[in-house]
Amino acid sequence: MLEIKDLVTEYGSVKALNGISLVAHEGKITTVIGANGAGKSTLLRTISALEHPRSGSITWKNKSIVGLSPEKIVRLGIAHVPEGHAVISQLSVEENIEMGALFRMRSNKADVRLAIQEIYQLFPRLEERKKQLAGSLSGGERQMLAISRALVSRPSLLLLDEPSLGLAPLVVEQIIQTVNDLCRNTGLTVLLVEQNANTALGVADHGILLSLGTVAADLPAAQMKADVALRAAYLGY
Amino acid sequence: MDIFLSAIFAGTSRGAIYALAALGLVLVWRGAGVVNFAQMGQAMFSTYIASTLIAQNYSYWVAFVVALVSGGLLGALVDLLVMRPLNRKRSSSALDSPAMRSTIPVIASLGILGVLQAAAGMIWAAEERGFPTPVNSLGLVINGKIMPFTAFDLFVIGIVFVTLVATTYFFKGTGMGLAMRASALNPEVARLSGIRIGFVRTLSWVISGVASSLAGLLVTPSANLSPYTLDLILIIGFTAAVVGGLDSLLGSVIGGFALGLLVSFVNVYDAPEDIFLAILIVLLTVLIIRPQGILGSKEVRRV
């Protein structure tokens, strides 16, 4: 279980997160929705230690992870796919995937090879293009690659930041469905940040609505999806 | 014909040195994302260490190895004492724009160059001293004419190729090489992948430091040693790296040999005073016509 209490993260004098508390249960998809600037990305970046919180606590499996480095946090089984199809364009598809497993290549080479095989089964298109530079991929393929880079580390918690950004609806559907399958079949815990609230709430177990750095609502996903007044007030539709 | 041949030979042996200097620059660029102008300062410093050992009757090879080790250490020190604190400081200041992030380490490296030159002047006095070669330096004889090409030049060319092959394999064929490329290209994604970018960067400064001190040791026999002798090598090495594409190891070696020949031909057929001008023209021409160099990768489109 990922448990966050009273988390405050600041950029200069701006409080991007102003006292956030939430829980993401193991083997479930928890989605964080909200308008631009609500603090969704900052939340994920603070969990993976790309940003340092001013106060508050983050515990994963009952251990505090505040103050650790991003490199260390990956080793605890938390993988973050940042916003914007974060792959390294100048490296090949194969190298982008391998990169995610470098830290455990020496200790567990056989499993790394297996994990890479599984990823190619999940996204056959990546295997076809494995020698190409990541920069030559389409937006959807790049997002698949970014997720693969995270999955090859065999995470137990996946932090996914706006996977739907800039992608065609059909591709979004496919990616979200893959994440859903992974969660249901392997027990992966997912914290999914999305602006596309309908799609996210469609697959999630639980919904957290952020507004201006605070939690505006914390409800089961189905209930949040059905709450027309809430969505009108915070998301504008 | 003899003049032409001798220009080719002289150019090739000079080119090998420029290629090594360019390789050192490319190594730290690909591993740490910094154009390091202090590189030849580091090389000069470790060459002085070797020269001091030789003056105290140690063998050339002992001095050679000590110089390489101290070159690597100096690289690590530059990273740990200057580059790393600089990175930490900037992440919380107003100077944190992408342009500044890539400019500040370069300016800092110029500062380090100044400090190293001043320090060498204080420690060893600024007078020039000679530096020996490990192998026979008598010229090759063709048609009864002595050519400016010696067994030592062959040795230098051999070292360039060994360094090129070893570093290329390291970058393309090993996990650490991949980690190094990833850290330089996109530190954030690299860290999220579990790569310890601090360690990786320091390591690339060490490798580049060793390659640079190698260049220093090999060039000094023909140039004499003073705190400023390697400045010209730095400028030509930098131009060679840019001609080659700055991120391509093979490109930098090709650039090095090409510039060696250019310098040699200007020297023989025109006048030594014009060498600097010729290099500047090449640098500007490449930057205007083909900024990515001969073998450098074009900036890949980003969305």
Q: Count Cβ–Cβ pairs < 8 Å, chain A vs chain B.
A: 83
Residues of A with CB under 8 A from a CB of B: 48, 50, 69-71, 74-75, 79-80, 82, 84-91, 95, 98-100, 102-106, 133, 135-136, 139, 142, 149-150, 153, 166
Q: Do residue B300 and residue A133 have CB atoms under 8 angstroms apart? A: yes
Structure tokens belonging to residue A90: 């100048």
Q: How many residues does the structure list for chain A?
A: 237
Q: Which domain holds residue B174?
A: 2-289
Task: State the pairing for strand pair A14-24/A2-11.
Answer: antiparallel
Residue in B185, B190, B194 nearest the CB of A75: B194
Residue B296 placed within a domain: no
Number of domains in chain B: 1
Q: What's B182's domain CATH number?
A: 1.10.3470
Q: Which of A207, A210, A150 is nearest to A178 (CA)?
A: A150
CATH class of A2-86+153-234: alpha beta
Structure tokens belonging to residue A159: 């932090």
Give the pLDDT score at A72: 95
Q: Are A96 and A88 in contact (CB under 8 A)?
A: yes
The secondary element (H helix, E strand) that includes residue A181 is helix A169-186
Residue ranges of domains in chain A: 2-86+153-234
Residue B176 placed within a domain: yes
Residue B295 placed within a domain: no
CB atoms within 10 A of CB B122: 10
Q: Are A161 and A82 in contact (CB under 8 A)?
A: yes
Task: Give the whole-angstrom CA distance, residue B41 versus residue A69.
Answer: 34
Task: Give the whole-angstrom CA distance, residue A177 versus residue B49.
Answer: 63
Give the pLDDT score at A84: 84
Sign of CA dihedral A216, A218, A221, A225: negative
Residues of chain A found within 8 Å of residue B302, distances taken between Cβ atoms: 89, 135
Task: State the pairing for strand pair A78-81/B145-150.
Answer: unpaired
* Shortest distance, CA B193 to any CA of chain A (angstroms): 5
Q: Are A195 and A33 in contact (CB under 8 A)?
A: yes
Residue B21 placed within a domain: yes
Task: Give the whole-angstrom CA distance, residue B209 versus residue B71.
Answer: 5
Give the pLDDT score at B303: 28
Q: What is the pLDDT of residues A69-109, one digit of tens each?
A: 999 999 999 999 999 878 999 999 999 999 999 999 888 89
Residues of chain A with pLDDT under 50: none
Structure tokens belonging to residue B244: 């080659």
Task: Give the whole-angstrom CA distance, residue B162 versus residue B72.
Answer: 18
All residues at 6 or more sequence positions from A11 whose CB lies less than 8 Å from its CB, including other chains: A42
Q: Do residue B303 and residue A103 have CB atoms under 8 angstroms apart? A: no
Structure tokens belonging to residue A136: 């030559």
Residues of chain A found within 8 Å of residue B196, distances taken between Cβ atoms: 71
Whole-angstrom distance between the N-terminal and C-terminal Cα of chain B?
56
Residues of chain B with pLDDT under 50: 300-303
Residue B241 placed within a domain: yes
Residue B301 placed within a domain: no
Q: Are B40 and B78 in contact (CB under 8 A)?
A: no
Taking phi over 0 as left and psi of -120 to 50 as alpha, with beta for the rest, B119 belongs to alpha
Task: Give the whole-angstrom CA distance, residue A169 versus residue A111.
Answer: 34
Mutate to test the interface with B, among A11, A94, A99, A148 (most CBs of B within 10 A): A99
Residue B300 placed within a domain: no
Mutate to test the interface with A, among B178, B192, B197, B301 (most CBs of A within 10 A): B192
Structure tokens belonging to residue B124: 């060893």
